[in-house]
């Protein structure tokens, strides 16, 4: 006659085997229960690529990584430190850490495989140089890129041109940069005295520009403001941060995207306080004028914006506040990030 479960446990409890019995139960439990550590070891990081469309163009934000650095003095050198701290705390950011995202843009126009800016490469330390691996995640290899458009020649945008082996990372590409930008960095003397950053850093910026631009001298095309660089991508003059910085308008099938480059960096500083300059703006007054002009345009025309240093995937719209004509100098702007889509 079969024993009931209660009778079985009772009989074991009375027997000399009870210790062995409960050790067996405990071992079975430990061996069959997955631990939290095992789950974490098998997980993957969050995505570094975000695919979407602009009309018929297939487009993707490609992260090159994230740099965390103190906001002062570099990113608001002339602002009241208490106001800077307040602006960061209001956004639930740590007041001593500014997160600077690095985002390139990949555009498949159907004819061209385009990369807009190349990431920092190894110019700016660890945590970066993730562009190639994130491109590969959507099936694009470096040799597939046939067009590289450079918004401006700061190391965080051109540092990926020359690889660590000294070869071009994108060997099959034509390179496009504004003539004003090329002439500035390749002139016999380059005056960076107005940058509010330490001298060694200025020297590093110049050396980086010479190295990476010099490497593409035989395969570069220089463009002018308002010129269509390739079909569907038009240059917009955006001087101030650098003399020849270019924003871009991407247009296909009635849809538009403005690539803002470094016209603004983050919402707490440049959008809420568009006159706080960064230490990297070569001509701060001109940079502030460019910032207001472009922000007013995309706010008025409700055009989607991609901005290199905004939080990944760096896509959103701009709203302006207090836009009455007589208070132009007091307009502040808000960043409205796009809603994440799972299908591109």
With 0-12 CB in 10 A as exposed, 13-18 as middle and 19+ as buried, what is 243? middle
> Smallest gap, in angstroms, from Cβ of residue 152 to Zn ion?
8
Closest to Zn ion by CB, 54 or 120 = 120
- C-beta closer to Zn ion: residue 262 or 267: 262
What is the spatial distance between Cα 110 and Cα 53, in angstroms, rounded to a whole number?
12
Which CB atom, from 57 or from 269, has the smaller least distance to Zn ion?
Answer: 269
Q: Which residues contact 181 (CB under 8 A, 6 or more apart)?
A: 150, 152, 153, 242, 243, 244, 245, 246
Total of residues contacting Zn ion (CB under 5 A) = 2
- Considering only the stretches 108-116, 151-159, 203-211, 296-304, report the one whose residues sit in contact with Zn ion under the rule CB under 5 A: 151-159
In the complex, least distance from residue 314 CB atom to Zn ion, rounded to whole angstroms: 12
Sort 186 into a burial class: Cβ within 10 Å, 0-12 / 13-18 / 19+. Answer: middle
Distance of closest approach, residue 117 Cβ to Zn ion, in angstroms: 8
Output the CA torsion 211→263→245→230 (10° steps): 100
Contact status: 64 vs Zn ion (CB under 5 A) = no
Nearer to Zn ion, 119 or 316 (CB): 119
262 touches Zn ion by CB under 5 A: yes
CB of 84 closer than 8 Å to CB of 76: yes
Query: Minimum distance from CB of 175 to Zn ion (Å)?
Result: 18
Task: Give the distance from CA 24 to its chain's centroid.
Answer: 54
Is 131 buried (19+), middle (13-18) or exposed (0-12) by CB count in 10 A?
buried
Question: Distance of CA 305 to CAs 52, 86, 291, Å?
Answer: 13, 26, 13
Q: What tokens appear for 187 in the block?
A: 């002139």
Nearest distance from C-beta of residue 185 to Zn ion, angstroms: 15
Minimum CB distance to Zn ion smaller for 241 or for 292: 241
CB 140, min distance to Zn ion, A = 22
Stretch that binds Zn ion, among 1-9, 55-63, 154-162, 282-290 (CB under 5 A): 154-162
- Give 57's contacts (C-beta < 8 A, 6+ positions apart): 107, 108, 109, 110, 232, 250, 252
Using the rule CB under 5 A, give the single segment among 1-9, 83-91, 148-156, 295-303 that binds Zn ion.
Answer: 148-156
Q: Which of residues 81-140 bind Zn ion (CB under 5 A)?
A: none
CB 319 within 8 A of CB 303: no
d(CA 78, CA 278): 8
Closest to Zn ion by CB, 123 or 272: 123
Taking residues 12 to 31 in sequence order and writing x for each that binds Zn ion by CB under 5 A, - otherwise, the string is --------------------
DSSP string of 263-297, one letter each residue:
S---IIIIITSTTPPPTT-SSHHHHHHHHHHHHHH
Q: Which residue lies nearer to Zn ion by CB, 156 or 272?
A: 156
- Of 162 and 252, nearer to Zn ion (C-beta) is 162
Shortest distance (Å) from residue 52 CB to Zn ion: 22
Q: Residues 108, 156, 251, 281: which binds Zn ion (CB under 5 A)?
A: 156
Nearest-approach distance from CB 323 to Zn ion, in angstroms:
28
Output the DSSP codes for 205-243: HHHHHHHHHHHTGGGEEEE-TT-EEETTEEEEE--SSST
Does 267 interact with Zn ion (rule: CB under 5 A)? no
Q: Which of the ranges 54-62, 141-149, 156-164, 224-232 carries the binding residues for Zn ion, by CB under 5 A? A: 156-164
* Residues at the interface with Zn ion (CB under 5 A): 156, 262
């Amino acid at each position: 006659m079969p024993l009931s479960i209660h009778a079985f446990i009772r009989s074991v409890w009375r027997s000399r085997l009870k210790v062995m019995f409960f050790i067996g139960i405990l071992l079975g439990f430990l061996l069959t229960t997955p631990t939290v550590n095992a789950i974490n070891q098998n997980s993957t990081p969050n995505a570094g690529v975000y695919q979407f469309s602009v009309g018929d163009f297939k487009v993707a934000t490609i992260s090159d990584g994230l740099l965390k650095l103190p906001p002062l003095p570099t990113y608001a050198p002339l602002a009241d430190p208490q106001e800077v701290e307040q602006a960061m705390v209001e956004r639930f950011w740590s007041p001593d850490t500014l997160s600077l995202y690095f985002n390139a843009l990949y555009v498949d126009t159907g004819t061209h495989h385009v990369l807009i800016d190349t990431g920092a490469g190894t110019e700016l330390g660890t945590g970066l140089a993730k562009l190639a691996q994130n491109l590969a995640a959507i099936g694009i290899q470096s040799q597939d890129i046939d067009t590289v458009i450079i918004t401006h020649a700061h190391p965080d945008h051109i540092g990926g041109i020359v690889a660590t082996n000294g070869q071009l990372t994108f060997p099959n590409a034509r390179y496009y940069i504004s003539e004003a930008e090329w002439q500035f960095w390749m002139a016999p003397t380059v005056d960076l005295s107005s940058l509010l950053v330490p001298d060694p850093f200025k020297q590093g910026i110049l050396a980086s520009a010479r190295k990476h631009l010099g490497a593409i001298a035989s395969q570069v095309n220089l463009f002018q403001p308002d010129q269509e660089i390739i079909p569907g991508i038009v240059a917009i003059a955006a001087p101030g941060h650098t003399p020849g910085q270019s924003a871009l308008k991407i247009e296909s099938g009635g849809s538009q995207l403005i690539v803002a480059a470094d016209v603004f960096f983050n919402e707490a500083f440049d959008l809420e306080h568009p006159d706080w300059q960064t230490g990297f703006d070569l001509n701060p007054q001109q940079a502030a004028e460019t910032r207001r002009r472009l922000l007013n345009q995309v706010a008025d025309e409700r055009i989607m914006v991609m901005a290199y240093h905004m939080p990944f995937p760096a896509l959103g719209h701009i709203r302006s506040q207090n836009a009455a004509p007589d208070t132009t100098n007091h307009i502040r702007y808000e960043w409205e990030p796009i809603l994440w889509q799972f299908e591109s």
